[in-house]
Structure formats: structure tokens, C-alpha cells
Amino acid sequence: MIGSYRNTPTNRPLFRVPRSLSRFNVSTLQRSTPNEPGLPGSSGCNTLAPMAKVLLVDDDLTMVQMVADSSVPSEDRGYTYDSAWNLAWLTNNGALSQFIVDNKNQLTNAYTAENTYDSNGNLLTANYTRDVFYYNDENELIQYYHFQNGIDSPTTGDTRTDFIYDGLMRLRHRLEYTFTCTGGVEQTSAQLAGEGLGTPTNCISSLPLETYYIYDGWRVIQERDGTGAPTVSYTRGNDLSGSMEGAGGIGGLLARSSGYSGGNFTTHNFYFADGNGNITYMLNSSQAMVASYRYDPIGNTISSSGTLANANVYRFSSKEIHANSGMYYYGYRFYDPNLQRWINRDPVTEDGFSLAFQKVSDSEGNGEINLYGFVENNPLLKSDALGLDLYFTLCPLSHNCRSRIGVAVAVTTYPIPKIVGTRCCTAANQLFGSILVPNLPLDVIAAEAFFKRCVSQAKK
């Protein structure tokens, strides 16, 4: 019997996963999407190249150790996590980097550089104070500074970004500034006093490059400049959820239009995404490549090319990248792939946020050990729609295909708490054939039906 996670004393569904099956190895894990071969009703095989080799996964599909094995040796990556699922060690083509956290899971040291946080758990400085962050009372990032030589030595070429939000916490206005210092002479931090860091006495900021955002729900459909003139328009379709924004728009981008003139856009380019909703390719109206991207498993760009590669800002997880920082804007928070974590805590655990936005709070069974973790270190199987601890759950239902492990994905059309999704997914795999037992045939249709019924009943 499947019960309500809200009404059970332990806030858990009424089925249990045998501990003997709670830890397992997967040799090669591949992702499929509903329009790719290898899924129900298709006679083909999943033709995607292996993206990562999973060495150890815990009982709710949280990554404990992962190796990204590329055909290009320089792209090989290795990840090891601590007991709270923080990234502890990163191997990049043989080079080893350590990540150190405190007892609040705040990243105090990364790549040997010290990071600092405020009392609300927001990242304040990073990378030897080269990166400086300021927040409002709702813990939204409102200013970002990048100092090439650190905050104590501002110099020509340093940048500042201001972020302005609406009442729904959506980014509506972004302003980019660049500093020019007299004679290129470095200034002292005392000259940065004023509003936030303000404008240095001997450094002059440029007029801001402004971007206004027009939304349909949580999806940006148009950008405008400081005069209000349209600059870019986005055409969107169904995302990974099968609905318009059940997955926060991930995988739903169709086209990018620019060159606004006389009431119309004159240039159109088209998006192509992989099975995880990452933008990998763009074509123009003549079907010529204008942008190509390659990523590591956690969202760092390995390579990019094409005339539109820089101008297009929607990339990993179909989310907008902030070019000056390398962070991705998900809606409620910014994600830093270089650190493999969010820059501040998950707001969904705060009672005020939960009441105001009617999201599932920690008290309703959606609690997390680590409020900075990104999709529980499992970006191949899990997705975060808006930067909250509500995941659009991708349930991997495995099946054999020409002696290789293919993965069918059962989905829901609405965000659900990850504790529900992962347990329903585990039960579906156990009952109908599992990645735990690769040689056991899988009734994919039955497993998908069970998974959807399971999360639907648990949601009530």
C-alpha cells in the first residue's frame, strides 16, 4: 500500500526498500529522452555516448562517488563526496583539488582559496576576495563584483553586476558595469566605500549595460534593453516534464530570435538539447551550426564554438548563465558549477518562504542534510527546476539493449518532493526489474505506470 508522506508519523511512504539493495554499482549509466530510441515502443537502442561511470550510489540515488570518463583524456573528471554529500575531492585530468566545509556545510575553502559567509548562510567572498556578493533581506543576490586582483586592489577591467527582482522573486532587471581606473593604477579598498562597494574615487564605472526580462510564468520569453526596445525573443515548448514549465523550462527551448526591426525579429536560430536538457547545439535558418557546447557532468563548460556561442546565454540545464561570474540563474538561487553547489541555502526550508509561496517546507518531510547541494550530486538522473528542494523527478527505469544498460525515464508533470520521487522510483525498479539487477527484464510500461500512481497518491 502506498500512503501519504504528509500523514504518516515518520513522513515517509509506507513501503520500505530492503537494505540489501540500498547500495549498488552501475557500470555505465546513459540517459534517454522520450524522443530517443531505446524507450517503450521503439526497436532502437539508446545511441548517446556514455556520459559518466557511477562508482557508488546511496539508497536514494544520491551520488557518493562518480567518475566522468571521456574519450578525451583531458576531459576526465573524478568526484568524491563526504557523508553530508558535499564535494570533498575533485580530480581534473589527474590534478587533485580539495574542498573543505564547516559544520554548516558552508564551503570555507575551494581550490586552496578561502570563502566567507554571512549569518544567513549566503556566500560573501570567494576566490581570494576576487568575487564579492551582496544580498537583500530575502537573501536574493543583488550585487556581484569581480576583482581581478582581489577587493584590496581594484583595477581597470573589474566588473559589477546589479540584480533587481519582482515580488515573485523573479529577476527582472540586470545592469552590468565595467570599471576604468585612472592610468590603470590600482586603488585601495577604502576608496570603494559608499553604496555597497560604490564607485572608487579614482575608478570610473561605465554606463550600465541593461537587460530587462519579460516572463511567461517562470520562463523568460523576451529580453529588452535600457530603452525598452526588444533585443531577443525566445520560443519555448514543452520541457522535460511534458508540460510548459513543470521542469522549470529545462529542455523546452526551441528558438532564439534577434534583430528586432519594424515590429519583427529578422534573425532566427534554433536550439538542440541533450537528454538532460542541456543546450548542446544551435542552428541558423540555413541549418548551419552557430553554437556548440560541451559540459562536464556538473555544468562547467568544457568547450564552446560558433558565432553565437557567447551571445547565447541559455546553456546548461537550459538556464541562463551570468557571463561575468560563470553562475547559472535558476529562479530562486544561483548555481556555481565551479563549486558544484548553490551560493546560498535552500529557501524552501524557511517557514516564511513556505507560507508566502506555498512550497513544501522542511516540516512536511522534505528536509535536507545539505542545503547547498545541487541535485544530490546526481545531475544525470535528477533535475532542479527553480533552485529549490523541489525536484522535477526523473525516474531511471533500466532495461537491457544490446548488452548495454539503457535508461528509460518515467516522469511526472509537476514538481514533487525528492523524498517521494526517489522512493517511488526505487520501488518501481524493484517491482518491475531494476538497474540493481541489469539482466532482469523490465516491464517499462508497467513500471512507469506504477511510478506515476505512486507519486500521485503520495502527493494527496
**Predicted confidence (pLDDT) per residue in 263-297, tens digit:** 999 999 999 999 889 999 999 999 999 999 999 98
Q: Tell me the per-residue pLDDT of 325-342, one tens digit each, with 9 for 90 and over.
A: 999 999 999 999 999 999
Whether residue 415 is contained in a domain is answered as no
Whether residue 310 is contained in a domain is answered as no
Domain residue limits at 187: 102-207
Whether residue 155 is contained in a domain is answered as yes
Q: Output the pLDDT for position 395.
A: 73
| DSSP type of residue 24 | B
Mean pLDDT of 165-188: 82
Mean pLDDT, the chain, rounded, equals 77
The angle formed by the CA atoms of residues 284, 288 and 293, to the nearest 5 degrees, is: 85
Whether residue 356 is contained in a domain is answered as no
For residues 186 and 103, which has the higher predicted lDDT (pLDDT)?
A: 103
Out of 15-29, 227-241, 404-418, least confident range: 15-29
φ, ψ of residue 191 to 5 degrees: the values are -80, 0
Summary count for the chain: helices (H), strands (E): 3, 30
Mean pLDDT of 37-59: 39
Neighbours of 142 (CB within 10 A): 16
For residues 240 and 40, which has the higher predicted lDDT (pLDDT)?
A: 240
Whether residue 319 is contained in a domain is answered as no
Whether residue 186 is contained in a domain is answered as yes
Strand locations in 196-288 (E): 203-205, 209-216, 219-224, 230-236, 253-261, 264-273, 279-284
Mean pLDDT of 94-118: 94
pLDDT at 36 over 60: no
**Alpha-carbon distances of 190 from 150, 154, 204, 373, 378, rounded to whole Å:** 13, 11, 15, 35, 43
Overall domain count for the chain: 1
For residues 22 and 363, which has the higher predicted lDDT (pLDDT)?
A: 363
Q: Output the pLDDT for position 442.
A: 59
pLDDT at 391 over 70: no
Q: Output the pLDDT for position 221.
A: 98
Whether residue 226 is contained in a domain is answered as no
Out of 164-168, 191-195, 233-237, 441-445, least confident range: 191-195
Q: Output the pLDDT for position 329.
A: 98
Closest CA to 421 of 8, 12, 26: 12
Whether residue 250 is contained in a domain is answered as no
Cell 541489469, residue located: 438
- Bridge-based pairing of strands 116-117 and 219-224 is unpaired
pLDDT at 308 over 80: yes
* Tally of residues, the chain: 460
Q: Output the pLDDT for position 56.
A: 56
